[in-house]
Amino acid sequence: MTSQPVPRRIVRKRVLVTGGAGFLGSHLCARLLADGHDVLCVDNFLTGRRENIAALLGDPRFELLRHDITLPLHVEVDEIYNLACPASPVHYQFDPVRTTKTSVVGAINMLGLAKRTGAKILQASTSEVYGDPTVHPQPEEYCGNVNPLGPRACYDEGKRCAETLFFDYHRQHGVGIKVARIFNTYGPHMHPDDGRVVSNFIVAALRGQDLALYGQGAQTRAFCYVSDLIAGLVRLMDSPAEVTGPINLGNPCEITVRGLAEQVIALIGGPSRIVYRPLPADDPRQRCPDIFRARTVLGWEPTVALDDGLRRTIAYFRALLGG
């Protein structure tokens, strides 16, 4: 008799996603539900939007809790994805003290929850921990070039402190941690007024407005489509316990901001032109991930090309804006 392959057993888990109604969080909640898990979405709706999770509200395995993670949270979960924090300059500079508290006090609260429940916990860190880098592309070993006194410091230093807390809880209390450093991500569910370059350019072009470049637009960025990023987060969470990170997750295909603006105008058409504005303080000149560790440790790399991802994102904003 020929033996039949044994199907892979999917272990159903109860997963907490903080910032679950945000851009990344909403996509992550949908992915976890599709994978068969129960999802507890926690959000204070400071920047998250109910529209992002509207399609999930009828799922009996999805639960929504309005809560600010700067306050303690008492729930029972198996895994925690800590995504809660304003992530665009417009939002995190609006209330910088609150931004720092969300990163630092929020991390302490979520790590305390993980310690009590024995849950694995993943920190959504950021490429901003590298600041305005003097090493290019940026490997995880690079310690960064960050201005602790500048207008972006509430986010940059808050995330750096959160990483410190994660590794100290791991060493001191044995908490199972994962740290992902997320590079520029884009796609549906971005807020139209979040100040991020992709959404700025697409919304302006759809409205027939000019696209503003800061400086000469020679700064470089590397843009990762949201489905690729979510796949990387899940793969990191599912990796062996000894894989703690930090691990860069992003697309290593680099483009200038001017090149992005030209590509968006070409895809949308219309009367939009490129105009120039003064360069903001501490704006990184180069930003591109070294993803050698993600490729070798996780077997992960992005698959969605920029042109394809932009088309999908443009379609989302066109429907959102009613154009």
pTM above threshold 0.75:
yes
Residue 225 catalytic? no
Within the chain, how many helices (H) and strands (E) appear? 10, 13
CA distance 14 to 33: 10
In this structure, are residues 58 and 36 in contact, taking their beta carbons and an 8 Å threshold?
A: no
Which of 260, 272, 154, 159 minimizes the C-alpha distance to 217? 260
**Of 3.40.50.300, 3.30.465.10, 3.30.390.10, 3.40.50.720, which CATH number belongs to 14-321?**
3.40.50.720
Is the confidence at residue 5, as pLDDT, over 60? Answer: no
Rounded Cα–Cα distance for residues 99 and 92 (Å)? 6
Question: What are the residue boundaries of the structural domains of the chain, listed by start?
Answer: 14-321
pLDDT in tens, 159-218: 999 999 999 999 999 999 999 999 999 999 999 888 889 999 999 999 999 999 988 889
Each residue of 40-83: pLDDT tens digit?
A: 999 999 999 999 999 999 999 999 999 999 999 999 999 999 99
The phi, psi pair for 39, rounded to 5°, reads: -125, 125
297 CA to centre of own chain: 20
Q: 249 pLDDT exceeds 80?
A: yes
pLDDT, residue 280, reads 73
Judged against a pLDDT cut of 60, whether residue 2 lies above it is answered with: no
- Catalytic pick among 155, 169, 186, 225: 155
Of 52, 8, 16, which is closest to residue 194 (Cα–Cα)? 52
Per-residue confidence (pLDDT) for residue 93, from 0 to 100: 79
* pLDDT tens per residue across span 90-139: 777 778 999 999 999 999 999 999 999 999 999 999 999 999 999 999 99
Q: CB count, 10 Å around CB of 194? A: 19
